[in-house]
Amino acid sequence: MKTYVLVHGAWHGGWCWKKVKPLLQAAGREVYTPTLTGLGERAHLLSRQVGLDTHVQDVVGVLEWEDLQDVVLVGHSYGGMVIAGVADRVAERLAHLVYLDSAVPSDGQALLDCVGDRFRADMAEAARSRGEGWRVPPWSAERLGLVDNADAAWVIPKLVPQPYKTFQDPVRFRSPTALALPRTYIHCVGQPPSARERPPFTAAMDYYRLAAGHNAMVTAPEELADLLLRLG
């Protein structure tokens, strides 16, 4: 049985996998949901020095200290940047990379290089006007695809500012093994599903569409867990 390590996106924490984790465990899988430095219950560690490399090391630490092997490593949203960096460092511990509605960087790209002009402008303005230049306030419920009031009431109070540096730092690929790992992209196309175009960067990996908003682990946990189990 493969082990699953689920990496959350910006502003979230390991708590956001609360609905998915028990479903994977019920199928006999071992599941880890680390919280990245400065976020979730580790929000007290937030500083302007926290960058992408910090978050990569957070996950590498879990893999090494727990001595995990044959891992299905899942990254949601910004977490796609993190799992890419982790794969470069400890590819020998991984079996599969799963990008959940996330960034998929090439060598030398930062998150801000992987998104559109609107996102870049919004994040820069949010950091400047509401984050003292180094923090990015959380997205709204609507932008996260949280259409149910109960979901929004659970998620929104738990979101905390994201260090802007994590969006600016590039990923560097030095390990050819990392680039050879099996990869899958899960595209969240809304509920009801929209005709969102398949991202061009998914051409070299397996591709699945999921009828859920961006925060699928909150709004469609059963469907997401079923898909992750099939991949693993």
Least confident segment among 94-98, 127-131, 187-191? 187-191
Both tokens of residue 35?
């919280």
pLDDT(104) > 90: yes
Q: CA–CA distance from 158 to each of 153, 161, 208 (Å)?
A: 9, 10, 29
Sign of the CA dihedral with 180 first, then 206, 97, and 101 last: positive
pLDDT of residue 1: 81
pLDDT of residue 196: 86
Strands (E), the chain: 3-7, 30-32, 71-76, 94-100, 135-136, 162-163, 183-188, 206-210
pLDDT(83) > 90: yes
Q: Enumerate residues 6+ apart whose C-beta is below 8 A from 200.
A: none
| Ordered structural domains, the chain, with CATH | 3-231 (3.40.50.1820)
pLDDT of residue 36: 98
Q: Which of 77, 106, 129, 140 is catalytic?
A: 77
pLDDT of residue 133: 96
Pick from 17, 71, 82, 5: nearest CA to 216: 17
Alpha-carbon gap, residue 196 to 175, rounded angstroms: 33
pLDDT of residue 92: 96
Mean pLDDT of 188-204: 90
Helix axes 79-90, 52-65, angle to 10 degrees: 50
pLDDT of residue 179: 86
pLDDT(194) > 90: no
pLDDT of residue 195: 86
The reply to whether 77 belongs to the active site is yes
pLDDT of residue 77: 97
Mean pLDDT of 126-154: 95
Task: For the chain, give the mean pLDDT.
Answer: 96
pLDDT(4) > 90: yes
Q: CA–CA distance from 145 to each of 7, 62, 186 (Å)?
A: 18, 29, 15
pLDDT(232) > 90: no
pLDDT in tens, 107-134: 999 999 999 999 999 999 999 999 999 9
Q: Is the peptide bond before 200 cis (omega within 30 degrees of 0)?
A: no
